[in-house]
């Protein structure tokens, strides 16, 4: 299993358990709640997906940003209950 697949599994497991996910870079922190995920699913627009090159992508408006590569983690992802 690649790092991107492991991170996606971590995100999905914690969101389904009702926890919030925080995606952090050096300049910003993005909170993803189960409610946010439900809104994306209702719009039939995946919030997280793995592309054909094995990168984990996160939706940012109508485009996607890479947050993890097959062998390289690009951001910090943590799970917390608020």
Say how many domains are in the chain: 1
Residue 44 binned pLDDT confidence (cut-offs 50, 70, 90): very high
H or E stretch covering 24: strand 20-24
Residue 30's Cβ-count burial label (10 Å; 0-12, 13-18, 19+) is middle
- pLDDT band, very low/low/confident/very high, at 82 (cuts 50, 70, 90): confident
What is this structure's pTM?
A: 0.92
- Local confidence band at 15 (pLDDT 50, 70, 90 cut-offs): very high
pLDDT of residue 2: 96
Q: Is the pLDDT of residue 37 over 90?
A: yes
Question: Which residue range forms the structural domain that includes residue 29?
Answer: 3-80
């Amino acid at each position: 299993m690649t790092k991107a697949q492991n991170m996606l599994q971590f995100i999905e497991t914690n969101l389904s358990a009702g926890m919030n996910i925080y995606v952090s870079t050096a300049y910003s922190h993005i909170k993803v709640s189960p409610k946010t995920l439900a809104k994306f699913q209702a719009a039939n627009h995946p919030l997280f997906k793995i592309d054909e090159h094995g990168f984990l992508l996160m939706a940012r408006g109508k485009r996607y940003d890479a947050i993890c590569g097959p062998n390289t983690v690009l951001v910090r992802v943590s799970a917390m209950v608020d």
